[in-house]
């Protein structure tokens, strides 16, 4: 296990409301239980449609692996982990940086997209640059129309 | 024989926080110096115990030059929720001053970023807009306020709005100086403060329109401070 401080996004692609709630509740409990810095405790921002959220904390990297998300989804669907499949790619939202993008499926239906900003080998600054770039590109989905 | 130590008090500068505390103290509803080095509570040192709650910020960064530290806001999901039932009950949207120090990472990032706001049905806020203007707005049956297009500053900037419905005037301040003309047409405040919408560094406690940069001391009064008073609390 290693600590990884940064941002990740989850986007609901095919979970019903109760499945989504179970997943979100579990993710909100990641990170340290106490810490002197609020930035290191798990906190999040929810997209306007409530179907995506960005989490930040000082995470245990073991909790953010593909296998860890497969295990969570398998538990939600009450199926073996092997029944959850995934496709992985990379994206870039800021100059010189990359993010991991993974789509998890069950029964050939895409259920969840996860973006690990800055990739699992990136540092905090890279993750921060990536999430800022992502929000810039997607501001209309995350902020109501204001001035 | 002289007593040189008697001259020492004149050489001691009044700490910045005391300048704020001594400004219209009877009307000071809350003063959040945000100087904590750790923890989740942003203390109100006005004596009213209207403390704020930190979410996500990084504490302990160099502050406004008063010898204290400040939090850094990441522009993603950070804020300080300063709502309390005590503040809600004391809040006076008709006679009000809101005050906030900020050092932005990028004033030209074309993102909406709310720096300080108090919202019931009516609202009063200081905001960086997607058009890179800096807005000072009191909205109650229509917006009254000013905008500063292309506002840029590389250092710490004190910002303030004063509004008086009885006097029918709103003034906006940056760097201790009034910006624009007196604004009129103020309507009475409507609604009580929302539990999620009295916030430093965002639109709500869910961190919509999150600030990006360092936010310093913030305060709120139930009176429109004078230009002289704003100038005084705008210097360290």
pLDDT, tens only, B205-235: 999 999 999 999 999 999 999 999 999 999 9
Nearest CA in chain B to A142: B208
CA distance B4 to chain A (A): 44
Inside any domain, residue B117: yes
List of residues 6+ apart from A14 with CB closer than 8 A: A106, A109, A110, A111, A112
Average pLDDT over residues B153-160: 97
Inside any domain, residue B119: yes
Average pLDDT over residues B174-187: 98
The tens digit of pLDDT for each residue in A45-80 reads 999 999 999 999 999 999 999 999 999 999 999 999
- Comparing CB atoms, the residue among A38, A136, A144 nearest residue B57 is A38
Question: What does the CA dihedral B41, A52, B123, B137 come to, rounded to 10 degrees?
Answer: 100
Domains of chain B: total: 1
CA distance A143 to A48: 7
| Predicted local confidence at residue B123, as pLDDT | 97
| Predicted local confidence at residue A1, as pLDDT | 73
Query: Is residue B9 pLDDT above 60, yes or no?
Result: no
Inside any domain, residue B187: yes
> What is the predicted ipTM?
0.94
Q: In 3D, which of B193, B88, B188, B194 has the Cα closest to residue B141?
A: B188
Inside any domain, residue B102: yes
| Predicted local confidence at residue B11, as pLDDT | 64
pLDDT band at A26 (very low <50, low <70, confident <90, very high): very high
Query: Is residue A16 pLDDT above 90, yes or no?
Result: yes
| Predicted local confidence at residue A83, as pLDDT | 97
**CA dist A41 to A70, B54, B209, Å?**
24, 11, 20
Inside any domain, residue B4: no
B76 contacts A135? CB cut-off 8 A: yes
| Predicted local confidence at residue A145, as pLDDT | 65
Q: Which domain holds residue B73?
A: 14-233
Hey, where are the domains in chain A?
3-142
Q: Give me B99's structure tokens.
A: 């005050």
| Predicted local confidence at residue A143, as pLDDT | 85
A128 contacts B56? CB cut-off 8 A: no
Residue B123, domain CATH:
2.60.120.200
The tens digit of pLDDT for each residue in B104-133 reads 999 999 999 999 999 999 999 999 999 999
């Amino acid at each position: 296990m290693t600590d990884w401080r940064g941002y990740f996004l989850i986007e609901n692609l095919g979970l019903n409301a109760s499945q989504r709630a179970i997943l979100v509740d579990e993710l909100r409990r990641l990170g340290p239980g106490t810490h002197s810095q609020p930035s290191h405790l798990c906190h999040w921002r929810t997209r306007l449609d409530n179907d995506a959220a960005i989490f930040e904390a000082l995470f245990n990297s073991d909790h953010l692996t593909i296998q860890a998300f497969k295990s969570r989804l398998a538990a939600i669907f009450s199926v073996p982990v092997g029944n959850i499949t995934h496709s992985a790619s990379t994206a870039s939202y800021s100059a010189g940086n990359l993010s991991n993008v993974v789509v998890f499926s069950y029964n050939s239906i895409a259920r969840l997209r996860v973006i690990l900003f800055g990739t699992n080998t990136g540092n905090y600054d890279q993750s921060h640059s990536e999430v800022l770039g992502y929000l810039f590109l997607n501001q209309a989905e995350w902020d109501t129309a204001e001035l | 024989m002289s007593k040189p130590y008697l001259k020492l008090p004149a050489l001691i500068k009044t700490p910045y926080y005391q300048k704020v505390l001594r400004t219209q103290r009877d009307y000071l509803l809350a003063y959040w110096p945000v100087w904590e080095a750790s923890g989740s509570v942003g203390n109100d040192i006005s004596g009213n115990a209207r403390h704020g709650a930190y979410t996500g910020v990084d504490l302990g960064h160099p502050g406004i030059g008063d010898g204290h530290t400040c939090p850094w806001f990441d522009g993603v999901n950070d804020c300080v929720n300063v709502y309390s039932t005590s503040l809600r009950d004391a809040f006076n949207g008709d006679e009000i001053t809101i005050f906030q120090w900020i050092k932005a990472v990028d004033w030209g990032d074309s993102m909406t970023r709310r720096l300080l706001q108090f919202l019931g049905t009516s609202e009063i806020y200081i905001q960086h807009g997607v058009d890179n203007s800096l807005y000072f707005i009191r909205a109650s049956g229509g917006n009254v306020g000013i905008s500063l297009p292309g506002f840029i500053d590389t250092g710490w900037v004190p910002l303030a709005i004063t509004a008086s419905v009885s006097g029918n005037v709103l003034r906006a301040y940056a760097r201790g100086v009034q910006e624009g003309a007196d604004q009129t047409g103020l309507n009475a405040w409507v609604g009580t403060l929302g539990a999620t919408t009295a916030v430093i560094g965002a639109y709500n406690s869910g961190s919509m329109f999150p600030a990006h940069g360092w936010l310093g001391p913030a305060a709120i009064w139930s009176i429109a401070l004078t230009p002289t008073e704003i100038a005084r609390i705008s210097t360290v």
